[in-house]
Each structure stands twice: as structure tokens, then as C-alpha cells.
Structure 1
Amino acid sequence: MDTAGAVNITLHSVAGGHGTWGSLGAGASGGPYVVSERHSVLVVTGCNVQATLVGDLVGNVITGCSSFCSIYDTWSSAVTKYDGEACSGIGCCETPIPIGWPSYGVRFTWQDPNHESDSKLPVAVRVAERGWLDSASTMLLNYSSGDSSCRMPIPVVLGFALDSKPVVLQGVATSGCPKDVSRSACRSSLGSCRNVTGHYRSGYVCHCHDGYQGNPYIVGGCQDIDGCALPVSCYGECTNTDGGYLCRCPSGARGDPRIKDGCVKSSLGLSVGIGISSGAGFLLMVLATIFVAQKLKHRRAKLLRPKFFRKNRGYLLQQLVSQKADISERMIVPLMEMEKATNNFDKAREIGGGAHGIVYKGIMSDLHVVAIKKSKVTVQREIDEFVNEVAILSQINHRNIVKLFGCCLEMEVPLLVYEFISNGTLHHHLHVEHTETLLAWVDRLRIATETARALAYLHSAVSIPVVHRDIKSQNILLDGTLVAKVSDFGASRCMPVGQTGDATVIQGTFGYLYPMYYYSGKLTEKSDVYSFGVLLMDLLTREKPCSYRSFEEKSLAIYFTTLLTTSNLVCVLDPQVVVEGGKDIEAIAMLAAACVRMEGDHRPTMRKVEMTLESLQLHHENAVICDMDAPSYAVVTEGTSMEKVSRQYSLEEEYLLSSRYPR
């Protein structure tokens, strides 16, 4: 019994001119059995004969074939192909049976009228198992005479079904198998049930799962097929599995193990070994290169440090006015200390910067917090400015000037170490958006006085006067108690007494520089006075001097002075100043206008400006309203009427229109 509802039986062939094939022992119907279409074929032997099968009483032809022989054919050559396969169509023929019936009618006719003279090969019609003739050809040769060959046993495969009645579940026909049929008939756990239909039978059959064979109608009837035992199933290493098998190439080989010579020795292992070795070697080479590069970099930096130290120290000693060696020696800070204080100049430590460098917050080894300025090295001029700043600040000690603690000379450009000012710049306090952080008028007046005091000290109290050249709100720092500290001396210059300013490279901030400086480049103390006058206007108005204005408004200096002469100054004043300033506003406004006069000789000195502001501050603190004819007021009005101020600024207007685009 096979796995698809078929059984093997042994029958005999039919010989003669006509006959009936049907010996299933159950009458014409054959009971539940029919010839299996999948496993059975029609086999005809003989010469020059045609045989057909008919399957019902009407005589409908099911299949047929013809066998031919020539006078030269012998029995052995007629039934065997050149490649050893039986039944080539010469002496015999073989054809599938498409419809399974329990019995067939057999018809055959002679194709040659002289069949009596044909070979001794007898004519026989057989229904046999597919492939039987390939193994039975030798047996047929032993029955080459008489009728004995027609009576030889022949295997036939019959099909059957469990139930010949159609199965309908809940009124719907199904091609599946009902559970009760599956449980009662298909008892093997490795089998299943399926519906079969045919011309003569219908019902259900059991079959083993793929990869298994045996009898699915009994418990344990389906057994695993050893895939590795199948002929030419695997040419590599085969491992049988439950219901299948695994086929792979041996270790060290690759390819298709299911074809002969499909596995070839692989060089993958060698390639992997070479790849790993090469990768490891390359990685070591890269690491070694990085290590050597870092070593060379550190060595080069170490060799350059003495060079930079000698270069910068010598330059500084030439610039130090005091000529005291202990000053420079006391202020020298090692580069290692700077790197440690700034965490190797980490970007997170940046707290600001300007045109001359970047400022870092540093913590020294003694836990002292400092500000460290590092130059933006682009040209030699930047180096000169840093050296110049050290030379100036090393001899200055003033409460309102940022203190220089030291410098590092082991880099290409010296690093400057200042006291740390924690409260930001005046610019930030004047131009923030949140009104609760705005400076009160009393603080603005004090900051202006302290800034004027610092500039007056630079101009007249040191041995060699110093011109700052970049006075603006960004360079006025405020500490925790809002004390003003003048900073950023990178553009500053020493100006010996009696010497007039020489033409220099234009430096400073647009809006704070007096217009004629763009044409002449002449540097004098009065340039700081002009910048301070603009700073006073910034304190009064909270207007940025370098911000855009319409053609009519022009610069802040002209705009402010024009409103002052037309008694419309309130249009530009900060509302907080109007409320808190009182009568001090007019005096400060007149002082600012005097500081920004076109002719430098007509501007007051910073010492006079300082005295005026100190007087106003004293009056404000004592809440005493003083007559504006006091000496401080004379600084503003001396020799100048409001009409003259107006005429003077008409001339200045002409210069400022072109100075918007400095050369």
C-alpha cells in the first residue's frame, strides 16, 4: 500500500485481438478500487500493432499506443533503447493512463496485413506499474515463444478512497478533511487527510507528510526518510534531520554540495587570516603614527617655548617704561599653568572676546579666578598690540582700570592674565531687554565719573601719557558692586608729553571715533574725549551709537546735539533718566555735546570732564540743586553759545556723512 490511497496487486496480461482487462474481484465496479492514474501505464508488446483502452460501455477511448518493427528488427534490439531504457516504440510502446477505472476494454489492430510473417514476438497488452517494463525486459526475453509470456505476473497499483459519498459541512462542500475522518482513519501523527475526486471515485485519503513514508492509516506508520541514504542526494557532508536533511560542503570548501564536484576548496580561511593580520597591522601602524605625531608635536612645542619666551620677553623688556626687571619676572606665568586653568582652552570656558582676542575664564592653582586673554593671531600687528597692552598695564595701578596679574610668554603671542570681572559690560546693562536689570541714574552717573577718572589718570597721572583709542560701552566692565573698570588696551598708545599724534592705522569702533580721524589718522588725547562724549550720550539715551539711522538722523552725536540745540532732547532721552535725572540731565547733556565738538582743541580735557562729573555726583548725592554757572558748568559753556554749537555741528554734519564709510 502506498501513501496516496493505492495498493499493489498482481494480474496477468491480455492477449488476442480483443478482450477485457478487469480482474479486481468485485464485479464491473471493482468495489472501492480503481487503477491509479499516477502509478499505472499501458504497455503494448509486438510488431506493427495498435492497442487502445476503452473505459465504459459506450466505448470511449481512454488511451492507446502503437508498436512497430521492421524485417531487420530482432527481439533484443526492439525492446531496448540505445541508452538501456526499455520500450523505445520499436517492438513495444508505453503510455500513461489518464483516467482510473476498475476495468477497461482492450482493442488492438494489426498495422501490417502480413503479420503472420512478423517476428516471433507475441502481441500482448498490459496495464502495469509505472517503471515495471524497465526491470522486466530481461524476463520478457525468456518468454519469446508461445503464449507463456502473456501469463507472466504483472504488478498493478490501484487507488481507493475512504468514503465514496460527497462530504458537505454546514451546507458547503469542502476540499479539506473532516476532523472525525482524520482522527478515525489517518492515525499516524505524521500523516494528514485530503479530499480526492475522480471519474469513478471520490472521498478522502491519508498520506504521510513530506519527508516521511509508510502507512498513514496506522499509529506510527509514517517514518522519517533518511535523506542522506537517497541516491546522489548530497555530495558533501549530509546530516539527516526529522523530515529532511542538511547538505553542506566540508570544512574549508564552498560551493553547491548537491551537484557532483560542486564543493571546491576555499581560500576563505587564509583570506580571513590575512585580513585580520593586515587589519591589526594597519591599526597598529595608525596608532603608532598618531603616537609619533603627538610626540613630535609636543617636542616641537617644547622646543618653541624657549624661542617664544626669549622673543616675547625681550620685546616686553624693551617696551616696559619702568625698566624694572622684577616687574616682568614677577608677572611671568608658565604655559602649563595657563592650560590647566582653562582646561586646555576649552570652548566652554569662553566668556567673551573682541577685535583683539578671545577671553577665557580660568581658575589658577591657588583657586584664584582670573580672565585670560588669548590673541587672534593673524598678522604681526596683533602680536605688537598684545605686547603693547602688557607694556602699558604693567605700570598702571588704578581702581577703575582692570588689573593685569601677569602674562605667559611661551606661546607665539603672549597670554594676558587679568582680574576676573563678574558682572559683564556696561553695554550689556544698557541694552538688555528686561527693564528690571537696567541701571539706575545714580549708578550711570557714578560709572561715568569712574570712567572719566580712569581716562584722566591715563592722560595726565602716569609718567608717559596713554591714549586708549577704543573707549566704548563694551570695554567698560562692571564688578559685583557695579564699579567701572576700563579694559582692552590692545589699541592703546603711549604719547610722550608735548608730542602731537602721528598718523596711525585707523583703529577703534565706528560711532565712537571722531569723524576727522578717518581722514587724518592723527592720534591725540582728545580722541578719547570724543569717544567718552558718545559714551555719555549712550548712558543718557540707551541708543547704540553704531546702530542704523535714517539719513536725516545721521550719527548719534549729530542727532543728540541737534535735539539739544532745538530743546527737543526729551525725544531721545531714556524715560528712566527723565524720571530720575532731574536737573543733572541738562548739565550732562551739555558736557556730552562739548566732548564731541568738531575741533579737538575746543573739547575739554578728561581732567576737566572728571571734575565736572564729580561735582554733579556730589550735588546729586547731597540732593542740592546747584546753579549751572558753577565752574563745572563753565567747562561746557565757556566761549560758546547755543547758536555757535548749532553752526559748528552743521559743519560737522558734512564730515560725518562721508565718515559712514571709513577708509
Structure 2
Amino acid sequence: MEVRFLQFGLGLLLLLAARHAPVTAVRSPQCQSQCGGVDIPYPFGIGDNCSLSSGFNVSCKVQGRTSKPFIGKAELLNISLISATVRVLLPIATHCYNTSSGRMDFSGKWVNASNATYRFSDVYNKFTVIGCNTLAYISDMNGTSYQSGCVSTCSNLSYVTNGSCSGIGCCQTEIPKGMDYYRVGFDRGFNTSKIWTFNRCSYAALMEAAAFNFSTAYISTTKFNDTRNGMAPSVLDWAIRNGSMSCEMAKQNKTGTYACLSRNSACVESTNGPGYACNCSQGYEGNPYLADGCHDVNECNNSPCPSGGVCTNTVGHYQCSCRAGRKLSKLKNACDPDTGLIIGVTIGFFVLMVFCFSGYMILQKRKLTKVKKEHFRQHGGMILFERMKLEKGLAFKVFTEAELIHATNNYDNSTIIGKGGHGMVYKGIVKDNVPVAIKRCVMIDERQKKEFGQEMLILSQVNHKNIVKLVGCCLEVEIPMLVYEFISNGTLFELIHGKNKALQISFNTLLRIVHEAAEGLSFLHSYASPPIIHGDVKTANILLDGNYAAKVSDFGASVLAPSDEDQYVTMVQGTCGYLDPEYMQTCQLTDKSDVYSFGVIVLEVLTGQVPLKLDGPETQKSLSSSFLVAMKENNLDAVLPSHLKGQESAELIRGLAELAKQCLDMCGTNRPSMKEVADELGRLRKLSLHPWAQLEAERESSQSLLGGTPPANFETIEDYTSGYPTQEGEILPMNPGSQYYAR
């Protein structure tokens, strides 16, 4: 594979300005002030003794029949003294499929402005990535202080939209302050070798956000890279950076290096790194870096005085006066008539405003009530009420918006207990001091708006001991809110990797938790009517109650299995490391997508490793990939932790590994069902708890992953569904979310 990693230096090679030379008090009249139609104001300059220091040098180069200004090797587009910025062209990194060699050609970039006048603007720039199967990174010199990136995917051009850069064909991320060096690279696991017919190249660049408008042509052609010959506009913040000098230090400097030379100028601290810049004082405009650079602004050209007033310009300010018979009211900025008229007009105006405001508030209240009723109707609230009347004792409550606002102290930030792509989760206290988790969804499609009430009825009647209960919902808002039971003991992810990792939890306990989670998912797939597909199975969505019993959560109102097999998900959902590769290609969510994700969970328990590592060798970033390679090479020990090898039976470890391998099959039809997975885990648990029962376990294995009857400890459907005591006629609901709803 051809690799090109180019340095585009603005600092060490081009702007050797770690320490500035003494200030040039007056620029020579012979200094060139323009190049290629671009103004070059002081402190910048072209030629010797024409700039404040070497860090502000600009070169004017002739290219063909035209001249262009450059800062080092970066073409200069324009300079702003007011905002202390320059716009330059910086290189675009590319990752292209070579049809001749059949390989990916990579051209990475780094740009260096360290120890110089400039910093990459965190306000005006964004790291932008373009492509249909690409993951690009941006980092500092060593990748230790800062590293970020984003992934951009699309299975075909029909999903790509002009002007949209939200992760489908294009994505963007912000950068921190103080960056004077960056490097760009691509994840080699993402490439265009299979989609080169409509997307041969991927691109990444740190560029000015306002100058970028995504076009679908950037995917199917090389237009993005060709428009400016492999360059993109970027904004650099500049400042006077004599070491870490501030305004106060610069003003006290007695060597004459203070750069704000104009009498009518002010020093402004740099907002991006150490140093300062200069601006003309209020009422003045011009160049604050020249002795007489700031001159008075004639505010009367755009008169700020009231209608009927007379504006008189003064140095640095202006004055307003009124004609005879009127006087200027500075408070209201108006030329008022006599006092009696003022009082009458004021009282009348006040009465009118009170009347209008009262009428407006009444109309707004009526409008709000009407909107709430319409939302309630759209979301199926009438269906819910009718059903609740017919089925008295239905353990489900329709909350008002006011109740949930009170329960969360108006959604105070201190009550936030979870964030994710589906919404925000708050802890609230409802009637009778019952703690609940309240989820405010961020989006819901039109189909779900129409069927929300019916879906809530379905979810409220699902009852399983390993599924979080749905307590109720709120329908009088634009996007319905869900209310769940509160689960207090964290997640399986935290138990394996996070803050609860230090707890002495046996492997048998972890195996029990995974088995219980499988039972919950099996119920959703096999016994719920209609079946429910989770869509985001991961250890962070397996909650643990006070007894460390598993509770599957985070499957929301948008998880009912599509009735039409051709129905596609228009936006990829889920979590990197757990996503089904087949789903990524087809955008068709099935129950086997949940099986794949559950296979990753089995690997986490088995290896104690996270599913995805952004650092480390390329071959070890994906846990599932590393595991499948180890299984193929018959080298399972390579991925197992040392303590597990000696403490657990080889049959148990091999059984779990084989189960994970079948779940991670690239073809969904070859994967077992969740019911088969749960049966196999039950068999393996028996093997773990009673190793002397090997013959019995082998007999039951023929009924596990290959199909058969439910495991011995579940004889009826009722054994799968409940663990909560119920009264006659009471239906306990299931809840897709809680304290750790989205991670």
C-alpha cells in the first residue's frame, strides 16, 4: 500500500518566530500593502522591516500571471485585525482505493505552527470527514494530550443529503483551544475497496466550518479535493506572543515592544493561547498597531439619534439634541413633547400594553392547552384511556407534563443520570416518594407517533423478571416521555470495566448475570407479541438491582419488530464495538442483530476487555476480530485473562467461546436465536455449578444451540415471564430504561 504522510509546517519550518524581534514603530512607505488583491495591513508586511516581527512576514509569489500572498507555504486568503485571525489554505488528507493495485492509497497530513504566532481557531474550525466508510482521527503531536475523530458511513448515495453533515456521508467534530500542531490519519479497518464504484476516496481536513457546505458530489467524485487543488480554507488565531506575555505585562514593558501604538487603542487578551492583540477604542476604527492608525468614526453617518433629533459628531463619540419645543430623554432616547402629554401618552401606552399582554397570555395558554391535547391525541392517548377503563388495575400511569417537571425539579442538571443517542434520562421522585427514571426522547418517527399509544399498551403488559419495568408515559408533549422503575446498582459494564470493577464478583456470578440477560432478550424475541428487537444490546444496557440480578434496559418505543420485512432503518443506531456487520451493510434490523451484540457481551465477560480500543495495534482494536482470529488459529488462550485459565474448567471456557463464536457469525442466518443462546448458557451454568454432572450436561447440549425444548429450570412460559408477585387481573409492565439507560 502506498503511504504518503506530508508535513505542512507553519511553525518550525516556516514561521520561525519563537521570540519576536523588536517592534518596528513605523512601517516604511515603500512597503507593499497588497498582493493578489489581498490587503496586507500592519503588523503583517511583505519584505524586510515591513512587519512587526518575523512571525508576521508575508511573501508575495508570482504564479503564472497572477500574484498570491503566502504565510510560509500556506496561501493567505485574508487578514482580520478586528478578530485577530487569518484565513489560509491547509492540506486535505485522502484515503483512496487504487483500482490498478487493488489497494488503498493513504495520504495523511500534519500541520505544525508550534512556537509561532498562530493557533488553530477552535471557534471557526471543525475537523471534517467525508466518505461512506471512513473513520478519521485528529490528534496533537504525540496523541497524548488530545485525540478525537468521527466516523462517516452510508451504504449508498440515496442516504446522502446535500447540506447535511451528521454522520451519513459526512461528519464533523470540534477541536480544543491552544492547538498549534495537528496530524490527521485514517482507521485502516474502514476503506472504500468494496464501494469504490460510487465512493473511491475518503477525505479529512481541519477547515473553516462556515466555508463548508456538504455536497453529494463530494462522495461520488473528487470535486472536494480538486476544488482548491487538495487544499481547504482554515482559520488561524494570531496574537503578539512574546513568551507568555499578557496585556498587563506588555504595558509595563520598558523596552518599547508594546504593540498597541495608537493613542486610541486598547489591548485585548488572546482567547486562544498566551499573548494579546490590539483593537481601536470604542468610537474609533482603523489600525491600532500604527501610531496614528485609529481614527474617529463618524457615528452620524448612521445616526443613532431618535427621529426628529439632530446628531453632532465629536471625537470618539457623538451628541444628540432636539429641535425647539422638545427635549431629549436620554432614558428613552427620544425627543419628547411637554410633560403633560408625556404623562398621558405613558399612561395610555401602559394600559394598552397591559391589555395586549393579558390577551396574549390568555391566547398562548389556550394555544398551549390545544397543542397538548393534539399531542395527546396523536400519540394514542385516547386508546390508552379506553383500554385502562376496560382493564381496571392496569399497572400503568399516564403522567402529565407538570407531574414530571415537579418530579425532576424542572429537569435540573443534578437529576441527570444518563445520556445517549436516544435521549436524556433523569431521576425523579413521583407520588408516594417512589423513585423513577424519566427518559426524554430526542426523536421519534411519524409511524411511532401514530402507534405510540398502542405500543405503550404492548410494552406495559410485558412482564419478565429480567426486563426493567415500564411504569408509565407522558403523551401531552411533542415527543412522548417514558417513565421507568429506578435500578440502583449500576451496569454490567461498570461491574466488568468501570467503577464497580473492584468488587469481588465471582465468574459464576457474572455467568448468572449474562444468563439472566439472555433470558430477558429471549423473552422479547420469542414471547412478546409482537416481538421486540432491542437494537442496542451492550453491557451498559444491562442494569443490576440490589441483588445483582440482570435487568435488560434501553429498548425504547421504537423497537417493535417491523411488520414489513423490507422496512429499513434510515440511520445506523447502536454502539461501536457491538454493531452487527450485516446490519451496517443492509440497514435492516433483525433479532439476529441482537444475537451478534450479545456475543460481544459474552466476550467481555470471558476476557474482561472492552469491545473497542482506539489505541494500540490495529489488529487488537476490535475485541470480536481478535477473538475470531484466535479461535481460527486454535489459540483461545491468547485472549483469555490469566486468572480465568486456572480457576474455571476448560469445558466451561470452551463452551462459552464456542457460543460467542456462533453469535458473531458474519451471516445472521447462521447465528443461533436468543432462546438457543439462553438455553446454552443455562447448560454451561449447570456445568459450572455441578462439574460432576458432565454426562447430564452433554445430554442437554444437543437441545441447546441446535434447538429443542427450554432448559430444565424453565418448564412453562410463566417461568420465563415473571418474578414479580401479581394480583388477579394485574399486568406488570416492562420498562426499557433506567438510571444507566444510555451509554
TM-score after normalising by structure 2: 0.43
TM-score (norm 1): 0.48
Hey, which of these two has a bigger chunk of helix by percent? 1
- The structure with the larger Rg is 1
